[in-house]
Structure 1
Amino acid sequence: MSLFSTSLWTTTVMSIIVGLYMLFHNSGESFDFGSFLLDTSPYTWGLLGIASCVAFGIIGAAWGIFICGTSILGGAVKAPRIKTKNLISIIFCEVVAIYSLIIAIVFSAKINDINPAGFYTKSHYYTGFALFWGGITVGLCNLICGVCVGITGSSAALADAQDASLFVKVLVVEIFGSVLGLFGLIVGLLIGGKASDFS
């Protein structure tokens, strides 16, 4: 069993145990997800979204570079000519991280000093949740895009090592895979665009 599935099962079982304990000890109303959402600061939600965006984007870029780089080095043993030409795949993987950083910079412009007295308003909740879900969306899109570009870049390197005429054909597929990260960037801009600044 993988680490992810083990941690998922552990979290689920622990949540059920805590929920049943609270239910049978006359404090079941305290197990309220809605109050958790409202009691948590909107500022926290916004910062978590920005952090998730950067973290997932960088993990996707690193994963793609790992997948692609190993194939480039392995293929270069047979055909040393592919080393420089296939660096375009590494650049595509780096662009994924840059997309996440762009969104993080745009979102962080909405984070300002605030007055704690009138902070828990509908506008601030909307901004916090918009930045959170926008960051999660962009981060996950870039994570998937980084893996996609890495796998396609790996195939491009190995195909180029075998037959130089295949490089451009596989590169077109890699470009289409790279566009997925751009779609995530656009969706993040749309989600965060309507959110007002914290003030």
Structure 2
Amino acid sequence: MSTDLCPVYAPFFGALGCTAAIVFANFGASYGTAKAGVGVVASAIQNPDGIIKGVLPCVMAGIISIYGLVVSVLISSNLAQKQSLYTGFIQLGAGLSVGLSGLAAGFAIGIVGDAGVRGTAQQPKLFVGMVLILIFAEVLGLYGLIVALLLNTRATDAVCSL
């Protein structure tokens, strides 16, 4: 039995939010890792000793994936067969928030990481500047995580009494 506020398809939106969180965050993380990884390999020709320092953008891109995983697990633990449409939409919003923020952050980390690692191989003084810009790019994903966590805490406010 369903009502207008608690239809049978409401959990679909929650599952879609769970999927969006992990998929988009992983797309961003994989792009960032691949793009920065190409820069690491290309710069290793000029400066083989700088490979370990050059892996930093790849690690930072991987953290974006963890943000998506955390929100995806939180959303999936709150999914229920009988839930309100409000809850489903909030869960969808939370998943899209962290997922699309992670996608944008991963793109930024990949582009900055590629250019930064190549530049650092030629001029080591660029490393600190590259790290600062990477932090600014990483924080975009963190903003999405914070919003998703805030949204997810509101997801259990409306309860269906069926």
TM-superposed CA distance for 1:139, in Å, is: 0.5
Verify: 1:63 aligned to 2:31, yes or no: yes
Partner of 2:116: 156
- Would you say the 8 A contact 2:7–2:84 is kept in 1? no
Partner of 1:179: 139
Partner of 2:51: 83
In structure 1, the gaps of 5 or more residues are: 1-34
Partner of 2:152: 192
* In 1: Cα distance, 2:119 partner to 2:153 partner: 42
Matches within 5 A, 1:32-181: 41-112=9-80, 114=81, 119=82, 124-181=84-141
Residues 45-75 of structure 1: CA deviation (Å, up to 9, x unaligned): 1001100110000010000111100011001
Greater Rg, structure 1 or structure 2? Answer: 1
* In 1: Cα distance, 2:141 partner to 2:108 partner: 10
* In 2: Cα distance, 1:72 partner to 1:101 partner: 26
Residues 115-137 of structure 1: CA deviation (Å, up to 9, x unaligned): xxxx4xxx611110000121112
TM-superposed CA distance for 1:169, in Å, is: 1.4
Matches within 5 A, 1:23-34: none
* In 2: Cα distance, 1:92 partner to 1:51 partner: 22
TM-superposed CA distance for 1:193, in Å, is: 1.1
Partner of 1:6: none
Paired letter, 2:98:
V
Residue identity over aligned pairs, in percent, reads: 30
- Would you say the 8 A contact 2:25–2:68 is kept in 1? yes
* In 1: Cα distance, 2:67 partner to 2:135 partner: 15
Q: After the TM superposition, which parts of structure 1 deviate over 2 Å for at least 4 consecutive aligned residues?
A: none
The secondary structure found in structure 2 opposite 1:165 is helix
* In 1: Cα distance, 2:35 partner to 2:8 partner: 39
Structure of greater relative contact order (alpha carbons < 8 Å, 6+ residues apart): 2
Of 153-162 and 55-64, the range deviating more from structure 2: 153-162
TM-superposed CA distance for 1:174, in Å, is: 0.7
The secondary structure found in structure 2 opposite 1:140 is helix
TM-score w.r.t. the length of structure 1 is 0.73
When the two structures are aligned, how many residues end up with a matched partner? 155
TM-superposed CA distance for 1:40, in Å, is: 6.6
